[in-house]
Structure 1
């Protein structure tokens, strides 16, 4: 009797558990999530492993249901309802019901991306801090937006959601502003800055990026000389050129001095056609622009070319010797050509030989 009661209790417990635990949900949604561009068509299919009494979709725009089907499709020709972020597929039977959700992300690429120099007018100066603002207009969703900052081809920084100032609804047509501070260098002059807006949503189908127009930086910096201070030795009478090259922005003015006296020369090269001893001494080229100046110093020494003098003396001596030899030869010849000749003796020698 006792064992019969135990068996009856176990059977009741099994039946209770069976009634309390509904069958597992067999619904499958394809795709399992949707990434749709605002205004594009969208669709999804929901299927079961058997025919269901009632099967359909619940959406913010309304419900769609069919009876005695094994699958049901949801589709729209143009998805423009920003509130459609989750829709649900369901089936309902006599014994139980089941549902599964489909997540939808609606995105919109920016209408425009622009770059602006803030709180500053005119050229920048070297080592000056400046602020750039990247403005991304009409983009969604902001949570998936990143902004890349580039200097030429070099990536300087990548900004994300926590860096942004957002105007409007984050999941609709929002305007995003990202502000960054930089410090100029000489190398920034003529370099182009730009920002690039990216939506990182679907790695299988990358969304086209939108970038700003490039901003070319105009950076003023003091002159830098490529001609170090040096000593120059010049032979008296030779020509001389002293270069005064300097890199600067804006272009510099030049002023030359010789032994502290201002010269009229303002070119980048000081030229002297024939150097004399009065030209030796200390030369300075002062290169200046509104940002600063640089001074290039040179000391010029004028020397005599003794080799040339020695060669001239040797040549002169050789010429005198040659003239003396010619005069002596001429005198000797003149003395000897008027001597006595024995013509009879000469004739006899000729006959003997014959």
Structure 2
């Protein structure tokens, strides 16, 4: 008898699996509670959560959990969700029960992440460029540029794309002898908060050496400008002085 009851509840939840949560009220007093309150899952890994639909308000109401993937099982006001291999980049889950004119619900945020395939650095002109290959979500990425063990700059992305992308970060460096010959590299860290992997995934680029010929010394440039403009001026002054001297002597 218990087996048939459990089977009935499982089938009931699966039927609600594809329903649409409308007129959802997340401020209702006795609202559903997810455990955990949010999920951070590596792409292709398993995931699970439970929902306690209510304490008292929904005991005689239709309830369910709306999610696009996985399997559901319900026993009374408890609903279990599990997926063996999560391969959707943009998803969440909604647990709810019907009220007179609306639904009381809670949403489970799900973040699906992927560490980068590769991190590389290059130098063009006076600009360092750090390329992070196929990372998601890029809004959680922090890129740090280094010279040796000294951090030069830390950058973030405002891109809201949840799927893997190729991200590019650039840094203009000072053109002086002090930076010539230094070892430069960049580091990409995917920080997904306390619910994410600890420590956060980190990948570094190779080291590159900035050659002197790419970085002219400002004093050399200044000396060149002085020679370019000062020598003709001095020459003109000398010529004028000679002419004036000749005219004065002739008179």
| Two-structure CA RMSD over aligned residues (Å) | 2.9
Cα deviation for residue 185 of structure 1 reads 3.1
Task: Give 5+ residue unaligned stretches, structure 1.
Answer: 1-21, 120-129, 223-354
- Please report how far the alpha carbon of residue 42 of structure 1 lies from its aligned counterpart in structure 2 after TM superposition: 1.1
Counterparts of 1:137-286 in structure 2, within 5 Å, are: 137-162=133-158, 170-203=161-194, 205-219=198-212
Change (3 A) 1:52 1:105: farther
2:35 paired residue number = 30
Q: Normalised by the size of structure 1, how large is the TM-score? A: 0.47
Find the aligned partners of 1:83 and 1:186 in 2 and give their Cα distance: 48
Whether the aligned pair in 1 keeps the contact of 2:138 and 2:164 (CA below 8 Å) is: no
Q: Provide the C-alpha distance between the structure 2 equivalents of 1:210 and 1:194, rounded to a whole number of angstroms.
A: 11
Are 2:120 and 1:114 equivalent residues in the alignment?
yes
Alpha-carbon distance, 1:63 to partner:
8.6
1:101 maps to 107
Is the radius of gyration larger for structure 1 or structure 2? 1
TM-score, reference length from structure 2: 0.64
Give a deviation string over 1:276-330, Cα, whole Å, max 9, x none. xxxxxxxxxxxxxxxxxxxxxxxxxxxxxxxxxxxxxxxxxxxxxxxxxxxxxxx
More strand by percentage: 1
Paired residues for 1:77-92 under 5 Å:
77-84=84-91, 86-92=92-98
Q: Secondary structure at the match of 2:90?
A: coil
Task: With a CA cutoff of 8 Å and minimum separation of 6, indicate the structure with the bigger relative contact order.
Answer: 2
Q: How far does residue 38 in structure 1 lie from its aligned partner after superposition?
A: 1.2
In structure 2, C-alpha distance between the alignment counterparts of 1:199 and 1:53, rounded to whole Å: 42
User: What is the CA-CA distance between 1:74 and the residue it aligns to?
Assistant: 1.1
